[in-house]
Amino acid sequence: MTARPPERPEPLDAGLAAAQEALVRAMTAGGPLPDGFDAGDVAAAARAILGKRAGDTARAWPALAASYGGGWTDAFAAWAAERPTRGSLRDGWDFARAHHADLPAAARTELAVAEARWSYGGDREPRRRLLAVRRVPGGLAVQVRGRLRVVRRRTMV
């Protein structure tokens, strides 16, 4: 019995691939609507995708999402509508940095802890830090070789 050579896949239809790419870009990164698609359907799909991104980001950044209460999905979707996703960790990080001045203490602490644990410049994947110190509301976040402690200031009475 002889082995059969593997079957070759069908040739790629360049036109179909381009249309699919344009559709995905329209739904996820604010790209123009490609010809032949219903604007209402594409807008509904885009809203659903933004809602899913907001939910994924809320799981990665719970204090950040909680700081917006019921308005989290709308606030995140407005910010993310023209940005392609880079994953929930990076999406939340970029959102938190963009809105840092308006964040309450818990969300600023969550951002400071992430920045103590990880090195992230916004242009590539975050990398673990060996040593870092960041200010948090009411104290410092100190990270040494993967162990993080938040040290609060004591108030004298």
pLDDT tens-digit series, residues 7-23: 766 667 888 888 888 88
Sign of CA dihedral 122, 104, 71, 116: positive
**pTM for this structure?**
0.75
Closest CA to 147 of 132, 134, 126: 132
pLDDT band for position 156 (50/70/90)?
low
Token pair for 132: 């870092």
- Number of Cβ within 10 Å of residue 79's Cβ equals 16
Return d(Cα 19, Cα 24) in angstroms, integer.
9
Closest CA to 55 of 85, 33, 27: 85
Whether the Cβ atoms of residue 139 and residue 150 lie closer than 8 Å to each other: yes
The residue that leads in pLDDT, 123 or 50, is 50
Whether the Cβ atoms of residue 103 and residue 136 lie closer than 8 Å to each other: no
